Amino acid sequence: MISKEVWLLCIVLSTSFATTINVSKFPKDFMFGTATASYQVEGAWNEDGKGENIWDEVAHRVPSPIVDNSTGDVACDSYHKYKEDVAMLKHLGVAHYRFSLSWSRILPTGFNNKVNPLGIAYYKNLIKELRANNIEPLVTIFHWDTPQPLENLGGWTNELIVDRFLDYARVVFENFGDDVTYWLTFNEPRQTCNQGYGTKQKAPLVDSPGIGEYLCAHNLLKAHAKAWHLYDEQFRSSQKGKIELSLYYRLPLYLSWINSKHGWYARPLLLGDYPEAMKKTIAERSALQGFSQSRLPEFTQDEIEYLNGTVDYLGLNYYTTVMATNAADKRIDVVSWEADVEVNTYQKEEWPTSASSWLRVVPWGLRKTLNWIKNTYGDIPIIITENGISEDGTSLEDDTRIDYYQQHLSAVKDAMDDGYTFQHGWYVRPLTLGDYPEVMKKVIAERSAYQGFSQSRLPEFTQDEIEYLKGTLDYLGQNYYSAAMVLDAVDKRLDVVSYNADVEVDMYQKEEWPKSASSWLRVVPWGFRKVLNWIKHTYGDIPILITENGISDNGTSLEDNMRVDYYQQHLSAMLDAMDDGVNVFGFTAWSLMDNFEWLSGYT
């Protein structure tokens, strides 16, 4: 029934963007759903024993760093209105609902010495209500809301948190595992690390570019691997579930930037270690910067083996795409991931815009992403965990959103029919291949050396860690919103120590791409297809779940035409990627609720 409805959507609804729509049907067992995050929708921030998390702390600061001074104290009040939420989901006809657990609601101090029974009861009731309405729960264990007591100890830059997350995961599996088939350990880990400990765009707003973000990622990957192995060894045989983490991805049309950004997380989980280029670059940059060792931590050989293959499927978030070029100025004086990548990114002006400045509509980027994943990591199953567009909200006619989803679903279908490493590989590569991408290691090492570090700012995995990390994904969760054009950075910013400088690319979005309510989000449905194909090309046939996809608007109207347009295009792009042969098995829209949008407040 779902596939027939989507097929009709793709051929009947009009589109305002010049994109070819895939009119073929999705498989009958394809999963469609929507997504939320605990802090963004639950409210009840200090009720029934819940502890404080980093977003509670940030939102209550005076002056507030939130654009409109809003908080998530009440948000959508889903804590009290979850039955109404489920009724709306049933009315939409979705097959699954992706939501996140609040670590602080379950373990108020972050430690397992105190388990909150009312928090456990809330999530059990939510899952029960979903099951009663034939909606499959897809549960994210961590979505950016670290318990404040753990953050006081350094949060994700302190290795102590690895075992604390393991304790938390055990409580979660023990209490909810019998009723949950699909797990995501982390949502968009790069945002947690790069924006939380590097660029100060997300809580906890820690200013440690080029160092804290790599420590965070290293610990987060090991935490994922431990949770995956725990589930695999003690719960999988009885609960029959699958586990992965969800990656946000903006297709950059420049290979080294793709390898650094995607491979940073994907490659360790699929192959056991960071991409070689990532290790080399960060080590070289660290040495140039005066560091005694690379700023990118290393995995031991045991960790590589432990990480390798710790995914059952891949969660993909896709919103937009960027163009990337090799940065002429390597900015060796800059210690950051952005400088380490050594590319410049941009989005083309002709790409349709959204209400978010960064989000332009590039549906073909989704297909390219899906194909890149397949070509890089093999035929891993993929769930598109986020995909969507922002708009100004002045109308109930949501044509833009329809257009967006039509194009992006078409791109996914194209990628499925067809049958990227610094950014994506940062997180995916260690979990699939055991280590960071080689280009990421290389660039950060070179920049670190130039900047005076005695070793690369990118931590290394030991051989044991590489083996431990490798393969710790059952599927890949992918978030997609937009795309950007990427150019090799003319200014390498070697004086800047940060992830953004390490990438060594310049990004931009084309003016012709449709805008959203978010400056970064332009409507680029073709980027969705490209992302999915890139994942397939890079990591093989790993199953992919689209964990986030959507568009922002200004909320001034109930006529949601822009959102309709966005989803129409992106669902079309996803269909195209699936036609390409990409193993996408589910799609989750973000978000069909007016949730608290982090530092941007309510959009």
Q: Which residues are catalytic?
A: 386, 548
Look at residue 165 and give its three-state secondary structure: helix
Answer whether 516's CB lies under 8 Å from 562's CB.
Answer: yes
* Interaxial angle between packed helices 561-579 and 399-418, expressed in degrees from 0 to 180 and rounded to the nearest 10: 0
Rg (CA), the chain: 21
Q: Compute how many other C-beta atoms are within 10 angstroms of the C-beta atom of residue 146.
A: 24
Q: Which residues of 271-309 are buried (b: 16+ CB within 10 A; e: fewer)?
A: bbbbbbbbbbbbbbbbbbbebebbbbbbbbbbbbbbbbb
Q: Are 426 and 440 in contact (CB under 8 A)?
A: yes
Cβ distance 506 to 487 under 8 Å? yes
SS3 string, 429-472, reads HHHHEEECCHHHHHHHHHHHHHEEEEEEEECEEEEEHHHHEEEE
d(CA 567, CA 21): 12
Name the one residue in this structure whose structure tokens are 């941009």: 346
SS3 215: helix
Q: What are phi and psi of 189, to 5 degrees?
A: -60, -30
d(CA 179, CA 123): 11
The rounded Cα 514 to chain-centroid distance in angstroms is 22
| Burial tier of 69 (Cβ tally within 10 Å: 0-12, 13-18, 19+) | exposed
- As a whole number of angstroms, the distance between CA 489 and CA 57 comes to 36
Q: Which segments of 104-241 are extended strands (E)?
A: 136-142, 182-187
Q: At what angle do helices 117-132 and 160-176 cross, to 10 degrees?
A: 50
Tell me if 534 sits within 8 A of 577, measured CB to CB.
no
Rounded to an integer, what distance in angstroms lies between the CA atom of residue 319 and that of residue 188? 13
Which of helix, strand or coil describes residue 90?
helix
Residue 514 CB contacts under 8 Å (≥ 6 apart), including other chains = 16, 17, 351, 352, 353, 354, 360, 361, 400, 522, 523
Whole-angstrom distance, CA of residue 572 vs CA of residue 414: 8
Pairing relationship of beta strands 31-35 and 584-589 according to DSSP bridges: parallel
HEC profile of 532-575: HHHHHHHHEECCEEEEEEEEEEEEEEEEEHHHHHHHHHHHHHHH
Whether 589 contacts 33, CB under 8 Å? yes
